[in-house]
């Protein structure tokens, strides 16, 4: 079989990122934009000794779960990956991927529950729009590419972000347009406050202020910032921030708790679903007012403060210093005196706890996509907490780490996926690991 050859086959499975798996003569091809059990005709784009990639040309037998995406830029824009599936199929896909990872990577027989569903549109509270000139374009990148897709609207951003973005596109008529790298918008759903930050190659504070004045009069933009970034890589934000108008942050509220969000702060992008995620984890861990809890990878302290409403004391640990500064401010905003925030590497601090022998009752971990390192796992095990609550954004590393914990005497009964990112292949999971009583 050669490149550009047409083949026919049936979609038998999915890859982790939502591509269809099609086997022809015992050879595997990955094809984007198809659904499970569909019969398709596809064009071979690339093939090596182990697998090939194809582009669907015709759908010979269509799935009942196929829908026409409501976004006119799908699939050119790389922000969404599975918008051609109805929501039932999206949840089934995410359930399937988590289950496969638990079984194939972790080699574990654990109940994987159906994902907790989310609203599917206008759920994002943050948008980063790259910009470029000659000709001017602003939007999102194509999947796995630096090619910019020029878009007018985005259906997964909050409606207010989408409205403000539509007006910001007139930036193409300004004198400083060539120095705009990105425009970042954050929207606090409960307070309504909005932050708009221009990531610039050079200083244009006065021109930005003049351009934004009509928008400041019409919208609740309480934080207008300029961020200078002169790097020649893909890092979006630089270190230098100028407050052009208002303040350097916005304030959001989650389930009655207030959080100050700065430009560099990480905050969950689906706030309504975040409440379900945190409450699911805390409820399952059965936190009591006698428990001492350690929250590793605590960020700006969002789940730490949720925990503090239930526990006797919570220690939040985060290696990023500005995040810890935000966390301490958030502690003050909510007047909680049973919380301590520590700026440290998670594994290093966990190892110190082992040395001190002041063991917690419960440990929460919410690591980045790479999962937990050996020191963190071994140290949390040596603490002997009755429960380790693991929140994960990567089912593959989650499955790997659960298997390691099992070797150390910690087991779990179920995995609870939570759909934080509808129309994308991403999925969060909550796992409760219980220590065997010896």
Annotated binding site for S-adenosyl-L-methionine: 268, 297, 318, 366
Band of residue 252 on the pLDDT scale cut at 50, 70, 90: very high
Q: Which two tokens stand for residue 374?
A: 């050996």
Mean pLDDT value across residues 154-159: 96
Please return the burial class of 189, using the count of CB atoms within 10 Å of its CB with bins 0-12, 13-18 and 19+.
middle
Q: Same domain, yes or no, for 303 and 423? A: yes
* Within a domain: 89: no
Does 281 fall in a domain?
Answer: yes
Give me 63's structure tokens: 């799935």
264 in a structural domain: no
If one counts the domains in the chain, the total is: 3
User: Is there a domain that residue 79 lies in?
Assistant: no
Residue 362 CA: distances (Å) to CA of 299, 307, 351, 383? 18, 11, 15, 9
| Domain shared by 107 and 169, yes or no | no
Q: Which residues of 248-268 are buried (b: 16+ CB within 10 A; e: fewer)?
A: ebbbbebeebbbbbbbebebb
* Average pLDDT for 333-351: 96
Which of 41-45, 131-135, 141-145 has the largest mean confidence? 41-45
The two tokens of residue 30 are 């990955």
375 in a structural domain:
yes
Band the pLDDT of 402: cuts 50, 70, 90. very high
Q: What percent of the chain has pLDDT over 70?
A: 99
Residue 314 has pLDDT above 90, yes or no: yes
Question: What is the pLDDT, as a whole number, of residue 438?
Answer: 53
**Whether the Cβ atoms of residue 147 and residue 139 lie closer than 8 Å to each other:** no
pLDDT-derived band at 2 (thresholds 50, 70, 90) equals low
Domain end call among 228, 254, 280: 254
Q: What positions carry a catalytic annotation?
A: 393
User: In the 8-state DSSP scheme, what is residue 143?
Assistant: T
State pLDDT tens for residues 316-326: 999 999 899 99
The answer to whether position 418 is within a domain reads: yes
d(CA 188, CA 173): 29
Of 254, 289, 317, the one marking the end of a domain is 254
Query: Are 393 and 409 members of one domain?
Result: yes
| Calpha distance 311→331 (Å, rounded) | 15
Is residue 307 in some structural domain? yes
The answer to whether residue 142 is domain-embedded is yes
pLDDT value at position 1? 63
pLDDT digits (tens, 9 = 90+) for 75-90: 999 899 999 999 999 9
Cα distances (Å, whole numbers) of residue 406 to 381, 385, 398: 10, 14, 12
Q: Angle formed by the axes of helices 374-383 and 395-407, to 10°?
A: 50
Question: Do 249 and 299 have their domain in common?
Answer: no
- CA–CA distance from 409 to each of 128, 168, 264, 358, 432 (Å)? 43, 55, 38, 20, 13
In a shared domain, residues 406 and 284: yes
Task: Give residue 135's pLDDT band: very low, low, confident or very high (50, 70, 90).
Answer: confident
CATH number at 34 reads 2.40.50.140
Q: Of 397, 336, 409, 335, nearest to 365 (Cα)?
A: 397
**Shared-domain flag, residues 410 and 278:** yes
Backbone phi, psi, residue 201, to 5°: -80, -30
Contact 345, 371 (CB under 8 A): no
Range of the domain at 147: 126-254
- pLDDT (0 to 100) of residue 36: 97
Domain boundary, last residue among 209, 227, 254: 254
100 and 158 fall within a common domain: no
**383 in the same domain as 292:** yes
Which residues belong to the annotated binding site?
268, 297, 318, 366
Q: What is the average per-residue pLDDT within 50-67?
A: 96
At residue 375, the pLDDT reads 94
Give the domain CATH number at 135.
Answer: 2.40.50.1070
- Judge if 422 and 319 occupy the same domain: yes
Q: Which CATH number belongs to the domain containing residue 108 in this structure?
A: 3.40.50.150
Burial class (CB in 10 A: 0-12, 13-18, 19+), 18: buried
Domain match, 244 and 281 both: no
Q: Answer yes or no: is pLDDT of 437 > 70.
A: no
Residues 429 and 333 in one domain: yes
Confidence (pTM): 0.93
Residues 6 or more apart whose CB falls under 8 angstroms from that of 143 comprise 75, 78, 81
Looking at residue 351, its pLDDT comes to 93
**Which residues, in sequence order, are CB contacts of 109 under 8 Å at separation 6+?**
103
* pLDDT attached to residue 146: 85
Q: Are residues 392 and 280 in the same domain?
A: yes
């Amino acid at each position: 079989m050669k490149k550009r050859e047409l083949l026919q086959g049936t979609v038998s499975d999915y890859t982790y990122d939502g591509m269809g798996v099609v086997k022809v003569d015992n050879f595997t091809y990955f094809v984007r934009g198809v659904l499970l059990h569909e019969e398709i005709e596809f064009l071979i784009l690339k093939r090596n000794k182990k697998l090939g990639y194809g582009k669907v040309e015709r759908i010979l037998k269509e799935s009942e779960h196929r829908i026409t995406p409501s976004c006119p830029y799908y699939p050119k824009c790389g922000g969404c990956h599975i918008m051609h599936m109805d929501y039932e199929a999206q949840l089934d896909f995410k359930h399937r991927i988590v289950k496969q990872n638990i079984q194939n990577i972790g080699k574990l027989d654990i109940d994987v529950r159906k994902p907790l569903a989310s609203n599917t549109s206008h759920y994002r509270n943050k948008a980063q729009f790259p910009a470029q000139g000659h000709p001017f374009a602003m939007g999102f990148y194509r999947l796995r590419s630096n090619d910019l897709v020029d878009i007018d609207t985005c259906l997964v951003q909050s409606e207010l972000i989408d409205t403000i973005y539509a007006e910001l596109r007139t930036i193409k008529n300004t004198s400083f347009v060539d120095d705009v790298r990105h425009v970042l918008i954050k929207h606090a759903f409960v307070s309504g406050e909005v932050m708009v930050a221009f990531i610039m190659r050079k200083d244009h504070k006065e021109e930005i202020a003049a351009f934004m004045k009509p928008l400041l009069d019409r919208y609740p933009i309480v934080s207008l910032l300029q961020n200078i970034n002169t790097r020649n890589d893909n890092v979006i934000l630089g270190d230098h921030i100028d407050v052009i108008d208002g303040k350097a942050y916005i304030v959001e509220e989650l389930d009655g708790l207030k959080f100050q969000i700065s430009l560099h702060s990480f905050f969950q992008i689906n706030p309504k679903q975040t409440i379900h995620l945190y409450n699911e984890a805390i409820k399952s861990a059965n936190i009591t007012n006698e428990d001492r809890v350690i929250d590793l990878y605590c960020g700006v302290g969002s789940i730490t403060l949720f925990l503090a409403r239930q526990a006797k004391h919570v220690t939040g640990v985060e290696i990023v210093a500005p995040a810890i500064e935000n966390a301490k401010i958030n502690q003050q905003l909510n007047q909680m005196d049973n919380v301590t925030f520590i700026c440290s590497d998670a594994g290093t601090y966990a190892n110190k706890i082992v040395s001190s022998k002041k063991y917690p009752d419960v440990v929460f971990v919410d690591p980045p996509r790479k999962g937990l390192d050996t020191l963190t796992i071994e140290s949390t095990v040596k603490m002997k907490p009755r429960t380790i609550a693991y929140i994960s954004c990567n089912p593959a590393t989650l499955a790997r780490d659960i298997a390691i914990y099992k070797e150390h005497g910690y087991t779990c009964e179920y995995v609870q996926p939570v759909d934080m990112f509808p129309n994308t292949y991403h999925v969060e999971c909550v796992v409760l690991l219980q220590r065997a009583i010896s």
